[in-house]
A and B are shown apart, each in its own frame.
Chain A
Amino acid sequence: MANNYFKEYPNKDGFFNEYGGAFIPPVLEEEMRKITDAYYAISKSHNFISELRSIRKHYQGRPTPVYYCNRLSEKYGGRIYLKREDLNHTGAHKLNHCMGEALLAKHLGKKKLIAETGAGQHGVALATAAAYFGLECEIHMGEVDIIKEHPNVVRMKILGANVVPVTHGLKTLKEAVDSAFEAYMKDPINSIYCIGSVVGPHPFPMMVRDFQRIIGIEAKDQFFEMTGELPDKVVACVGGGSNAMGIFSAFLDDEECELFGVEPGGRSLNYGEHAATMTLGKPGIIHGFKCYLLQDEKGEPGAVYSVASGLDYPGVGPEHSMLKDLKKVNYTVVNDQETIDAFYELSRLEGIIPALESAHAVAYAIKLAQENPKTSILVNLSGRGDKDIDFVMEKYGLPEDGN
């Protein structure tokens, strides 16, 4: 791609070719412009960068290691490596952009961080960042998710966040986004909206990508240092797509690296039983940006499902949408059962319990290894699976129980 890819994409209006932009009511336009201007002005300053670097090292525990999976590779072939984002503070990659967004908020003199959360991962990461910077934090969460994701609700409360239950509509992520936007619009002067992935109106897809690029920057160096070459294949799961953008961004210019984005295939590829946005969606607009979108015949965002609640979103990051069209990344699908199998394989062969989101990427890496026994595969292990253990035990049980 172009040498100055990161300067050219997105363009000044937030477009990644035809995707992205800011499809928002005028009441939000001015605020988004202010955040964009502030981001450009502040995020490149030496002070900002130094502070963020220090936070990453001393608070988040970065760099996270790249780890060679000896027993997994032995069993399935290939050479499988993991970028251990599960070892990032709070147990997932989300904190990378939350610390960045919160640091920006601090520089802007904002007092409160507002966001939505689905499974609660983004909410926990943002509540953590708010605690670190001494900011207020308001997390909007559907009533249904509040019940389902009880431990994360408790974590957010312990961290001092105000969890606002969303009681209208289906009471899940989509309504939580609407509710959080509404709360933000009531007080855009003192608060800032912190979106949870590389989605939403410009500048969020760019900002979140930039803050997540650290994953790829570290991983590329580490992998080269370990092996003297670049990985043949890089694999990451894609819901909104923040962890995938984080790792892919370092390899876009490397023709010898094949990139794979793994979407949730759910129970089946019938409507409503998956969230394979790029595999089965078509271009549309959701939550202020244009992207591949699963939608019904009326143009309403489609019903989605995945065993991993962090992946069930009917849209996807605009940059992924562009990379699909440019054929820079192969987007593919892994279903629930393959995910559960990979969840146990990694747990038992390597002693690493992956998040169900990340287990999608592991499952695809296993497939690739079986098909290409000589290949090297770098997987972004975006989060750890502690949050999923009760759900997996209840719904699937242990493998020896006949899973």
Chain B
Amino acid sequence: MMSDKQKLVVIGNGMAGARTVEEILARGGGQQFDITMFGDEPYGNYNRILLSNVLNGTQDPADIFLNPLEWYTENTVTLHAPARVTQIDRARKEICSDDGQVTSYDKLLIATGSRPFVPPMEGLKGPQGEDKHGVFVFRTIDDCHKIAGYANKCRKAAVIGGGLLGLEAARGLLNYGVEVHVIHLAPWLMNNQLDAQGGKILTSIMEKMGVHVHLEKATAAVLGEDSVTGLQFKDGTILDCDMVIISAGITPNNELARDCGLTVERAIVTDNQMRSVDDPDIYVVGECAQHRGRVYGLVAPLWEQGQVLADHITGSNENAAYHGSKIATKLKVMGVELASMGVTEASDDRDEVVIFSEPKRGTYKKLIIRDGILIGAMMLGDLNKVAYLMQAFDRGTPLPEERLSLLFDIGAPSVEATMLEMPDTAQICNCNGVSKGQIRKCVEGGKRSLKMVMEATRAGMGCGSCKKLVSEVVEWAAEGQIEEDPSIHFYVPGVALVKSELVEVIMARGLKSVSSVFDTLAHGVEDAGSKMGLASLLKSLWGAEYEDERDARYINDRVHANIQKDKTFSVIPRIFGGVTTADELIKIGQVAKKYNVPMVKFTGGQRIDLLGITKENLPKVWKDLGMPSGHGYAKSFRTCKTCVGTDFCRYGVGDSTGLGIKIEKRFQGIESPGKLKLATAGCPRNCSEAMVKDLGAVAVEGGNWEIYVGGAAGAHIRKGDILCIVDSHEAVLQIMGRFMQYYIETAKYLERTSSFVERIGMDKIRAVVVEDSEGIAARLDAAIQASVDAYVDPWLEADTPATANQFVSTLPVMQA
């Protein structure tokens, strides 16, 4: 059946093309047009801006997609990708693409963007005319992967071009452990956005970061036979390097338009409706469009262009017109705060320049004001006032007389005043294109916390640089009625009680299962995020009487192994105190061979990890090993690392190995609010890092042991505090057990000992655990003893699965 819709064909599936199609759909364009898109990258549309984060390792490529392939299906947009359009035939209203198709259109949208500009230089190609190994540009996801792959093998990299992109690339390369050199033609970095003084400060910041900067250098040739060995400059000097990224500007992709006779100057010339000036059926948007003599290389203008275009093409506002954009830039280099807008120098007698400069601290602020209106600004080192200045610049609102407050936060203009002046259409989040109005509506719709607004609008969830501004808008829109999420005080978010109240009710009502807690205390509303915390608490309260419901456990605790990114699991058998035997190692080796274990690794916890075991094989592997679980997955006692101590070490003053083995045998697998990692050291040289463990025992001269608690050396680092000094292994075991029980009873779910100790205070802990100030020491000792006695190795479930199909990932279908 022929459709009576018009055919809209879009060339280019990048940020402008896809965004414009979204705008068209949002105006009901799906009813008017059959939309077909061509993109020569083999993906849906992704956020090109975030490639800098992909390169510097802070973001995963999978996370930067704006329109994944499903989006096209869901919106009945036909996407041809990878497919490159090779010709536009305006007479027949058809386009040809390199997959051999001819597609006819009623309306055409050109959104081909631009490509990196490669300045002429010798030696870009290898002997056979192929691209020389080690020469890259930085524009696409594929470029990113290629750069990362090559950089891993490189020693020294050069980036040609010290503009926004070049510096972001240079910073990214540092992460690959290469020495990075930036080659820049102009006398200072980012010369389009900064003046000489600002450029100089930026150079010193980049150099402190480890990037070598070479100014006023023109590259004459890339050296090396078939791969890069260096660069030669026009002044005759040479820089050795084994890779080069060329980031010297962009060239709009104009060829298609030029070949079919459209007016092309620097880019394709458009009118105020974003149509080619020659053909009312051809629209142009993005970096390939030239409007009133200007070509933009940033995303904010193309959002505005897309809106006008969509208004016009769908007829939802025939009078929509684009009048050009004022642009502001921010550098996305970790550790550098830099924003710039408008002109960089005064050019008229009327111009007033306000400058603050503190080069040693890397701070530089400059404003250029004409007749009371901001026409240019640069801010380096401190972006506090940028949000306000950007608004004032964009709208041309008169600045307050008092200039000092424009540079620093000393009172006016208040956030309140700024917010009132800011129009609803002002874009707050440039990555996801969220306006002040959208945020305001979201808040008015009842979402009164930053987190809720971010989740609902996606504002602030791209590069993150606008988060502060988003929170200001939220606060302003909520008129101070910001909701603090009360659940942060609850033991688990789904049951509105703090831990002590919860324990009281659970005991009073005899609630022994997670589902009974939901039924009784949460109106029957089951909350996934609360299940594990409740299970942990109930088990510590009821011991053997606890009614275990397996669905309350995280997958790791259902199958007693840690899940991996490919859905396999890791198996870490227990090796008490890190001491093993030849037979045990042979056994582990045999098992690894039998099951083709992809990786056998010594862990940081002094034992061996078999990684990559399928769920089905877990019970078999455990049985073949014949060793107990090392609990490398649970919120429980993990390991006790030891050092060689008095047995072998010439400094050892206490038997740390023997003590560590005793500790691990006693407390293995005891469940707790957070992981418990222990260590014993034979002397204060502390080779087993006992001072930064949840619990550590360090032997000191005179046959004594110092007991440390609350140490941490993971995401957060903290030296443990001395709890007490005791004189025997037995005393260490007793104090450690008592501390653990007190922690189990008092800590919040997932609160590691390092936070726990700080919250409760060492004086209080010492009083309870060592001096028995509350008279509960005997009860704590008995409780931990009961847990030790009740301990059963979970790997015994290999023989007696606890639930149906516990170790099955896919069940057969009986009949079809």
The finding on whether chains A and B are genuine partners in a shared complex, rather than unrelated, reads no
